[in-house]
Chain A
Amino acid sequence: MTPLLVLFGCLGTLLALMPVAILCRRFSFVSQLVYVTSLMASSTALGAVLFHLLINPTLASSLQLPLGLPWLGAHFRLDALSAFFLAVVNLGGAAASLYGMGYGRHEESPERILPFFVMFLVAMNLVVLADDAFTFLLSWEFMSLTSWALVLSHHRQRGNLRAGYVYLLMAGFGTLSLLLAFGLMAGSGGEFGFAMMRAGELSPGLAGVVLALTLLGAGSKAGIVPLHVWLPLAHPAAPSHISALMSGVMTKVAIYGFIRIVFDLLGSPAWWWSMVVLVIGGLTAVIGVLYALMQHDLKRLLAYHTVENIGIIFIGLGLALAFEANGLNALAALALTAALFHVLNHSLFKSLLFFGAGAVLTATGERDMERLGGLIHRMPLTAFAFLVGSVAISALPPLNGFVSEWLTFQAILVSTELPQWSLRLLVPAVGALLALSAALAAACFAKAFGITFLGRARSQAASLANEVDRLSLGAMLIFVVLCLLAGIFPGYVIDAIAPLTRLLVDGNMPVQAGEAWLTIVPIKQSLSSYNGLIVMVFIVTSASLSAFVIHRIASRKTRRAPAWDCGFPDSSTNTQYTAGSFAQPIRSVFGSSLFQVREEIHMPPQGSTEPARMTLRMRDLIWEKLFAPIEGLVAATSARLNQSQFLTIRKYLTLVLVSLVFMLMVVALWR
């Protein structure tokens, strides 16, 4: 009970900050006040939920507050699942507050950010805590609206208004889907409590419909393809610490919604629904990373890459559904652990990378990678942090991204246990997609880090950049350490996830804490095992040993000279590879169908001094084929409806009468 009360104390503090932020907007201290308080509140909340998760995870404490509808009240509940996700939310919130203390100083209009920032944190906490559909949906919508306001905090910048518009539409669509899903689960009794839904049993067909609606609702918030279109517009538009929260944390709240509804509240849907989730996961992973590779806006690249990671998480969830439907609970626990581990990992390194992108933005005023470069010299600490994030997100050992991907691969390998032929055929194909997306992710971050931080500065702003303040750096370094710790001590994270899998799929992975040398063993030792600590020790030892030996017995002389470049060094920084040219080989391999890439090269006639030109045309087929028609339809319909604002009173009365008669007829027929 105590952690829940502490949590509500923290949320109350955050709520109280909102009026303070609005009332004191004229004073310069308010920004620091809000961030410091929210840092403390989030850290306290983090401590409380970690206490719950690690000390007595099987205990579920609930609380009813007399809020909302008078006969319903608002139900809140803290169990292992919500504790895990609350830890992700509050860790992200605390780090964003710390980062905001430094980053927020450069903000021109803090009053457009601060009130919504605290409300956003509160809303995300409430979604995870909610124990009835009404509170859940209300908090969910609240989370959407506050983040929408934050997306529009720099509303005068180009493109941000459109981003806000698309986001609002997609958020409305998502909430509507979830509303329908809850409506189906509540049944005709109209019981909105999660406890009743858990007890109720849906027919398999209806359960499938609920799953599909949840996939639409929570999936659109998380960013599954093809519902991801709002995400790369909205996430980069917000200030960077908000981008980190939206990409690193809010998408995880959406994943929480999916897990809560599908694994906890819903009975067991038919096994073939797992195929839908697997296909969506695999396609989301590959398409997301391909889109990310084509970007040259650093923050948008990161946002598209979130889509890829959501795909990886959904692959794990799909596998868990498949195993659970066939009663293979231990394997379902493995797949679910992989997905949840990736939830944690992604929240760590994506927040880190967005903080890094924010630091670059503060230092140079640029998000366009074609105008950056060479920042490793000017901003060494930011570069180091961003490098660690890049290695982690590219799933390279010994950092944390690799562990969750390795677990997902292990879950794929044991799927030969599945009895259904179609799943056995599908799963290796999804495995290939996962491997492809992992390789492309490494390419994507070689590009993101290489073009932004290495090479020579491509603009004056980049060549004059200065390292950002210590608080921002501190927030980044915390995540650097956490990425490393989760990578070399994965057994502890897996053990912390075990209560969740016991709760959701009634099975758990073997206890890892007792394994020798902190090895992780997903099923049994003879099958597979991994030890991040030893790999790390090996790499560090052999690297330093070789460096030591060579410096000792061979030469240690070093001389600086101009770059060689095969004898033709060019002083112009334009001859470097750019983000576009770096991605060109991959674009030509993968992009011809997905992006309909057309490259036209115009060479001047011989003897002419005019420059040669290359025109590159790329199309976003998902937007053009799926969303542009919908957008057109919505615009046309609203233009048509717009006329109804200027009718005469007679026409209004007729309209009212006709609709009344219509409604009455519907009711009469229904009875």
Chain B
Amino acid sequence: MIIDLFIQFIQMLAVLLLAPLLTGLVRWVKARLLRRRGASIFQPYRDLVRLMHKEVVLADNASWLFRAAPYLIFATTWVAASLVPTFATGLIFSWAADLIVIVALLGSARFFLTLAGLDVGTSFGGLGSSREVMIASLAEPALIMVVFTVAMIAGSTQLSTVSVFMLSPEVGLRVSLGLALVALIIVALAENSRIPVDNPSTHLELTMVHEAMILEYSGRHLAVLEIASSLNLLLYVSLISSIFFPWGLANANAAPAELFTGFIFYVGKLVVSGCLLAVFETSIAKMRVFRVPQFIGTALMMALLAALLMFVTRSL
């Protein structure tokens, strides 16, 4: 019990500490690919510390919701991220919330973010919020359909059980899994405002979505939102790796040595996926906003197809 609690606590802390590192890594690799020197991969930590110590400049008509939203967004994202197995499957609270709850928790974070975008009443904030809900209205069903597929294969919606099942040899190669993986990657790109859906490094542009919503934030509020969006990226990477690439995940009651190998594997996966993301982002151009629905619609269709295949071919 104590060990389980400890592992859960370590995972919660680990995702929090590793999240800015992943963001820094992606930025650094992107910069190198563009033949720039790039900031150190630890730059996001420095940014966070700096932001935390600055004063907050609130818009005159910002309400309490505007001030509470960063913490709510951070909390829901963190709770969701701590429910995804990173290096060990034995999460003590995984029975409290399954994959559908994780999807809904991310939905809560997005809901408050869109409200925060609308709060000050500027045109940029509304622009970001209205586009965000459009993207989410397609990405969320796609994600649920991926969850259906995975749950159907593993016979459970609990992520720890799913990971354990995916490690076992009875998974085999399935068309549905491939379709679900592609759909999940597209959803992950959209939900993390990455190219080609949104550009995370853009500012002062009419095409921005995520940055437009947090435009009025400053100081510690901005820092909290930055951590939350780093956490979101880390969450999706952990989600994809724990479902589709669960190699090296330690068991629930593993020895400390195994936990350590699991952790090394996890960091390795983060590095690989960070590099892949950077390469992908560098090699593709951003889409026009109204092309995005087709892009995410593809994910929805693929995920629906995957779920249909599973429903027809297998019974629980």
**A560 interface contact, C-beta 8 A:** yes
Pick from A435, A563, A582: contact of B61, CB under 8 Å = A563
**Known: A442-B111, A535-B101. Is A562-B314 also a contact (CB below 8 A)?**
no
List residues of chain B with CB within 8 A of the CB of A432: 141, 144-145, 300, 304, 307
Check B96–A577 contact: CB distance below 8 A: no
**A460 interface contact, C-beta 8 A:** no
List residues of chain B with CB within 8 A of the CB of A380: 64
**In chain A, residues 422-450, which have Cβ atoms closer than 8 Å to a Cβ of chain B?**
424-425, 427-429, 431-432, 435-436, 438-440, 442-443, 445-447, 449-450
Q: Which of A4-12, A36-44, A236-244, A585-593 participates in binding chain B?
A: A585-593
Check B60–A561 contact: CB distance below 8 A: yes
Check B111–A391 contact: CB distance below 8 A: yes
Check A527–B137 contact: CB distance below 8 A: no
For B97, B136, B138, B307, the residue with the greatest tally of chain A CB atoms inside 10 Å of its CB is B97
Considering the complex, give the chain A residue whose CB is closest to the CB of B121.
A455
**A395 interface contact, C-beta 8 A:** yes
Considering the complex, give the chain A residue whose CB is closest to the CB of B289.
A585
Pick from A373, A424, A519: contact of B312, CB under 8 Å = A424
**Known: A432-B141, A550-B220, A550-B224. Is A558-B100 also a contact (CB below 8 A)?**
no
**A583 interface contact, C-beta 8 A:** yes
B64 nearest CB across to chain A (Å): 8
**B76 interface contact, C-beta 8 A:** yes
List residues of chain A with CB within 8 A of the CB of B52: 550, 553-555
Q: What sequence of 0s and 1s flags, for each residue 469-496 of chain A, a beta carbon within 8 Å of any chain B beta carbon? A: 0000000000000000000000000000
Q: Which of B32-40, B156-164, B192-200, B264-272 participates in binding chain A?
A: B156-164
**In chain A, residues 539-591, which have Cβ atoms closer than 8 Å to a Cβ of chain B?**
539-540, 542-544, 546-547, 550, 553-566, 569-570, 573, 575-577, 581-586, 588-589
Considering the complex, give the chain B residue whose CB is closest to the CB of A551.
B220
Check B121–A439 contact: CB distance below 8 A: no
Check A589–B293 contact: CB distance below 8 A: yes
Q: Chain A at the B interface: mostly helix, strand, loop or mixed?
A: helix
Q: What sequence of 0s and 1s flags, for each residue 198-231 of chain B, a beta carbon within 8 Å of any chain A beta carbon? A: 0000001000000000011001100110000000
A314 nearest CB across to chain B (Å): 19
> How many interface residues does B have (CB within 8 Å)?
86
Q: Chain B at the A interface: mostly helix, strand, loop or mixed?
A: helix
List residues of chain A with CB within 8 A of the CB of B59: 560-564
A616 nearest CB across to chain B (Å): 15
Check B122–A569 contact: CB distance below 8 A: yes
List residues of chain A with CB within 8 A of the CB of B219: 555, 557
A-B contact pairs, 9 of them (CB 8 A): A377-B63, A395-B104, A413-B148, A528-B157, A529-B98, A544-B71, A550-B224, A570-B123, A582-B133
A121-B215 Cα distance, complex, nearest whole Å: 50
**B58 interface contact, C-beta 8 A:** yes
**B21 interface contact, C-beta 8 A:** no
Check B137–A417 contact: CB distance below 8 A: no
**Known: A539-B75, A586-B134. Is A431-B144 also a contact (CB below 8 A)?**
yes
Considering the complex, give the chain B residue whose CB is closest to the CB of A533.
B96
Check B130–A582 contact: CB distance below 8 A: yes
**In chain A, residues 305-326, which have Cβ atoms closer than 8 Å to a Cβ of chain B?**
none
Check A558–B55 contact: CB distance below 8 A: yes
Check A397–B316 contact: CB distance below 8 A: no
B interface, CB within 8 angstroms of A: 52-61, 63-65, 71-72, 74-76, 78-79, 93, 95-98, 100-101, 104-105, 107-108, 110-111, 114-115, 118-127, 129-131, 133-134, 136-141, 144-145, 148, 151-152, 155-158, 161, 204, 215-216, 219-220, 223-224, 289-290, 293, 300, 304, 307-308, 310-312, 314-316
A327-B149 Cα distance, complex, nearest whole Å: 25
List residues of chain A with CB within 8 A of the CB of B78: 542, 546
Check B115–A446 contact: CB distance below 8 A: yes
A445-B108 Cα distance, complex, nearest whole Å: 12
Other A-B contacts than A413-B157, A416-B315, A563-B216, 9 sampled, CB-CB below 8 A, are A439-B137, A530-B96, A538-B93, A550-B220, A559-B56, A564-B57, A566-B204, A581-B126, A586-B137
**In chain A, residues 502-549, which have Cβ atoms closer than 8 Å to a Cβ of chain B?**
517, 519, 525-531, 534-535, 538-540, 542-544, 546-547
A255-B65 Cα distance, complex, nearest whole Å: 37
**A376 interface contact, C-beta 8 A:** yes
Pick from B57, B125, B312: contact of A559, CB under 8 Å = B57
> How many interface residues does A have (CB within 8 Å)?
93
List residues of chain A with CB within 8 A of the CB of B101: 397, 402, 406, 530, 535
Check A525–B95 contact: CB distance below 8 A: yes
**A374 interface contact, C-beta 8 A:** yes
**A414 interface contact, C-beta 8 A:** yes
Pick from B55, B97, B123, B136: contact of A535, CB under 8 Å = B97
**A415 interface contact, C-beta 8 A:** yes
A328-B286 Cα distance, complex, nearest whole Å: 50
Pick from B57, B104, B156: contact of A396, CB under 8 Å = B104
For B61, B129, B312, the residue with the greatest tally of chain A CB atoms inside 10 Å of its CB is B61
**A175 interface contact, C-beta 8 A:** no
B66 nearest CB across to chain A (Å): 8
Check A436–B137 contact: CB distance below 8 A: yes
A371 nearest CB across to chain B (Å): 14
List residues of chain B with CB within 8 A of the CB of A402: 101, 104
A117-B175 Cα distance, complex, nearest whole Å: 59
For B52, B104, B107, B120, the residue with the greatest tally of chain A CB atoms inside 10 Å of its CB is B104
Considering the complex, give the chain A residue whose CB is closest to the CB of B65.
A376
Check B134–A585 contact: CB distance below 8 A: yes
A417-B58 Cα distance, complex, nearest whole Å: 55
Considering the complex, give the chain A residue whose CB is closest to the CB of B126.
A577
Considering the complex, give the chain A residue whose CB is closest to the CB of B227.
A546
**A382 interface contact, C-beta 8 A:** no
A242 nearest CB across to chain B (Å): 29
**In chain A, residues 634-671, which have Cβ atoms closer than 8 Å to a Cβ of chain B?**
none
List residues of chain B with CB within 8 A of the CB of A553: 52
List residues of chain A with CB within 8 A of the CB of B125: 565, 577
B43 nearest CB across to chain A (Å): 18
**A456 interface contact, C-beta 8 A:** yes
Considering the complex, give the chain A residue whose CB is closest to the CB of B134.
A585
**A451 interface contact, C-beta 8 A:** yes
A380-B63 Cα distance, complex, nearest whole Å: 10
**A454 interface contact, C-beta 8 A:** yes
Check A436–B93 contact: CB distance below 8 A: no
